[in-house]
Amino acid sequence: MEKLRGKVAFVTGGSRGIGASIVKRLSEEGADVVFTHSGKHQQKANKVLESIKANGRRGEALVANKEDPAAIKKALVATIERFKAIDILVNNAGIYVHKTIEDYSFEEFDQMINVNVKAVFVTSQFAASHMKDGSRIITIGSNMADRVSGAGGRLYAMTKSALIGLTKGIARDLGPKNITVNLVQPGPIDTDMNPANSDFAPSLKSQTALNRYGKTEEVASLVAYLSSDESQFITGASLTIDGGYNI
């Protein structure tokens, strides 16, 4: 353990679900962790922050609107000022709007683009300018970039597909600085937004090869690996973690 000792990680959307597990795992591996959250789940954010400190690491929870690039930049600046570095960036924050194609508004279209794609670019762009040799950028996408198994997810799938090209392009840009850039694409994961005991869960489980939902900790494990020196020859990759949903 503690493969990340001495590193500083910045995670967007870290108060619950996959983001919270990523924050906890990175701190277990020895990293100091700053994470952003919307402020709507303050108690959960406080518990995540307590877990960082329980692991003997420094941490901070910053309220930042994921739809506002300026707010994310402000959080990044605060992180650099306090911790003097960002070695690991995890773009985790995202949104999902499920509607028929006829019911989507242009405002919802723009919102999906702004949060799921633009914010990833802005955050990565700013963080990269402050990263040193050997740093890591990891984005949480979705297996829906490769397979849309039902109606209602077209815009979400589009934004997550865009992350594949964005990841490859940034990986080329930052390769000379020895900064790796990778995309993690989860499938059905047991979270508040997609619980394993929901009415539609049996259908999702049946489409996986393992016949179960994934755990947030399993996604966090992959992120921890991509954050470590063990993954230093992996970049520009889209790594699917979905229990065989897409095969």
Instruction: Supply the pLDDT for residue 2.
Output: 87
Task: Tell me which architecture the domain covering 8-237 has in CATH.
Answer: 3-Layer(aba) Sandwich (3.40)
Instruction: Supply the pLDDT for residue 108.
Output: 92
> Does residue 149 carry a pLDDT above 90?
no
Instruction: Supply the pLDDT for residue 138.
Output: 98
Confidence band, pLDDT 50/70/90 cuts, at residue 142: very high
| Catalytic hit among 96, 156, 225, 245 | 156
As a whole-number percent, the residues of the chain with pLDDT over 90 amount to: 87
Q: Which of 34, 31, 24 is nearest to 228 (CA)?
A: 31
pLDDT tens digits along 214-241:
999 999 999 999 999 999 999 999 999 9
Question: Domain coordinates of the chain in residue numbers?
Answer: 8-237
Angle (nearest 5°) at CA 136 between 223 and 75: 95
pLDDT tens digits along 15-50:
999 999 999 999 999 999 999 999 888 999 999 999
**What are 240's strand-pairing partners?**
185
pLDDT tens digits along 174-217:
999 999 999 999 999 999 888 999 998 999 999 999 999 999 99
pTM: 0.96
Tell me the mean pLDDT in the region 50-55.
Answer: 97
Under a CB-based contact definition with an 8 Å cutoff, are residues 19 and 70 in contact? Answer: no
Collapse the DSSP code of 88 into the 3-class scheme (helix H, G, I; strand E, B; otherwise coil) and give the result: strand
Under a CB-based contact definition with an 8 Å cutoff, are residues 192 and 18 in contact? Answer: no
The region, left, alpha or beta by phi > 0 then psi within -120 to 50, assigned to residue 204 is alpha
Instruction: Supply the pLDDT for residue 5.
Output: 96
**Summary count for the chain: helices (H), strands (E):** 8, 7
pLDDT tens digits along 166-179:
999 999 999 999 99
**What are 37's strand-pairing partners?**
63
| Amino acid identity, position 42 | Q
| Lookup: tokens for 59 | 């941490």
Instruction: Supply the pLDDT for residue 159.
Output: 97
Range scoring the smallest mean pLDDT among 65-74, 122-131, 132-141, 157-166 = 65-74
Cα(18)–Cα(125) distance, integer angstroms: 23
pLDDT tens digits along 75-116:
999 999 999 999 999 999 999 888 888 888 999 999 999 999
Cα separations in angstroms, 50 against 7, 16, 24, 93, 206: 19, 13, 10, 20, 37
Active-site residue, 225 included: no
